[in-house]
Amino acid sequence: MKFNKLNTIIFIGLLAIVGVLFMQLLTLTQAYAFEKKEFSEKIHFALQDVVSKIHKDNNTESPIDSQIKKVTDDYYVVNVDDVFDASVLEYYLKTEFQKVKLNIDFEYAIYNCGSDEMMYGDYISSSDKKVSKCEKCFTKKPDLVYYFAIRFPQLKYNYITSLQQYWIYTGVLALVLVIYVYSVLLLLKQKKYTELQTDFINNMTHEFKTPISSILIASNYANKQQEIINNPKLSKYVQIIIEQSNKLNQHIEKILNIAKSDSNSMVLEKSKFNLMDSVLLAKESILLKYEDAVSIEINSENKEYQIVADEFHFSNVIYNIIDNAIKYNDSNPEIKINIDDSGKEIKLEIIDNGIGIEPSELNTIFDKFYRISTAKRNEVGGFGLGLFYVKRICTLHQWKITIKNNQDSGVTVTVVIPKK
């Protein structure tokens, strides 16, 4: 895998999340071990006190050696080495477990000398839930006489519930890791599709440009021939071919620019220039394109507005906004361009008298391939890339662009250019 900037960030993020999850699992393991040790010590101390109390009741000395044998984590054998009563034992067990705050279920059995078997005592539950007793779980110890066995059937469950917050944290981290991996896979998949789409658009448009150029060259040559000039019908047909070829060529150029900006290969060639010169150039280009009466008025207190930007793309931005204003107009297009310098920023307002935009569509007007839902869209044609390109260029320059409906008719597009 090629380690570009995106892949490096993804790899570092994955390592960070896996590292945090590993530390959390390590902490959980240590907490589980500590919990087991704490439970074991509490059980041991409580059972030791039970043995001591039985010997005290019988006025006998407690054995020096530990009489408690841990068979498994949840099973203990206690050698009392003295006679004791089952009811007294149960009372002492309850009392001592409460002292050490060991509120868990347990069951016990006592060795019966007469039957030479373990005599099941009782199941002591810490709750009102119904439980299944396990009388066969207690085994006899041949080398002991006065002893009892105690079992904690819910001990492992208590370990888990006592570490509830650790399990929650671990689960959340595991979920974050799954979501992260899933998101990365989607991102890489989308990136691959985007690259394929961009390559396809680039190849397709370049393949189209060659035949269109040939058509334009042939059409312009034919248009100058005397036979065509003398025949009004043929001259009209050739002119249609030239106009439509130029229109198709403009669409292809626009698609190329969009594909280039999407692939992050667009490099802005910034330079210092006069904003008014670019606005006037866009105005002249529009007036050459449209033969009908189009009024474009430029209002400015100053003729010198020096900005640092990509002059070519800036001219395209102004041209696209004006071009859209003319296309989406049912009357004689009247466009006003107001330029204002507030000291910190330069604000361009392009106001038209067109058909306007539905308020619900104002937030999506700059989306790629989006076209307003009016009958005019079928007359205008296009791909819905013009305003997306405008927004993209403004974003790359870190400019702010907004659009709003006028009170009477048309819309106002505002571009704010910070001087810094």
Q: Mark whether 200 and 285 lie in a shared domain.
A: no
Residue 18 lies in a domain: yes
Domain of residue 216 covers 192-262
Residue 185 lies in a domain: no
pLDDT tens across 53-77, in order? 888 888 888 777 778 888 888 889 9
Q: Mark whether 258 and 275 lie in a shared domain.
A: no
- CATH code at 280? 3.30.565.10
Q: Mark whether 197 and 324 lie in a shared domain.
A: no
Residue 233 lies in a domain: yes
Of 395, 397, 402, 385, nearest to 257 (Cα)? 385
Q: Mark whether 285 and 237 lie in a shared domain.
A: no
Q: Mark whether 306 and 251 lie in a shared domain.
A: no
CA 281 to chain centroid? 43
Provide the domain count of the chain: 3
Residue 182 lies in a domain: no
Q: Mark whether 123 and 207 lie in a shared domain.
A: no
DSSP run (H or E) holding 318: helix 311-327
Look at the alpha carbons of 220, 221, 226, 230 in this order and tell me if their dihedral is positive or negative: negative
Q: Which pLDDT does position 259 carry in this prediction?
A: 63
Residue 169 lies in a domain: no
Q: Mark whether 248 and 374 lie in a shared domain.
A: no
If you count them, how many residues does the chain have? 420
For the chain, which ranges sit under pLDDT 70?
1-4, 128-131, 160, 198, 201-206, 254-266, 291, 370, 373-384
Q: Mark whether 388 and 353 lie in a shared domain.
A: yes
Exposed, middle or buried, 416 (CB in 10 Å: 0-12/13-18/19+)?
middle
Q: Mark whether 120 and 102 lie in a shared domain.
A: yes
Phi, psi of 215 (to 5 degrees): -60, -45
Q: Which pLDDT does position 118 carry in this prediction?
A: 85
Residue after which a domain boundary falls, among 141, 162, 183:
162
**What global pTM score does this model have?**
0.47
Q: Which pLDDT does position 414 carry in this prediction?
A: 92
Residue 130 is encoded by which pair of tokens? Answer: 């119904």
Integer Cα distance of 119 and 193 in angstroms: 73
Residue after which a domain boundary falls, among 124, 146, 162:
162
Q: Mark whether 54 and 107 lie in a shared domain.
A: yes
Q: Which pLDDT does position 416 carry in this prediction?
A: 92
Residue 138 lies in a domain: yes
CA 188 to chain centroid? 13
Look at the alpha carbons of 323, 325, 331, 333 in this order and tell me if their dihedral is positive or negative: negative
Q: Which pLDDT does position 1 carry in this prediction?
A: 47
Residue 75 lies in a domain: yes
Single-letter residue type at 93: L
CB 309: neighbour CB atoms within 10 A? 21
Contacts of 369 (CB under 8 A, 6+ apart): 383, 384, 385, 388
Residue after which a domain boundary falls, among 115, 146, 162:
162
Residue 175 lies in a domain: no
Q: Which pLDDT does position 313 carry in this prediction?
A: 84
DSSP run (H or E) holding 298: strand 295-300
Phi, psi of 120 (to 5 degrees): -65, 135
Place of tokens 């570490």: 163
Place of tokens 């010169």: 277
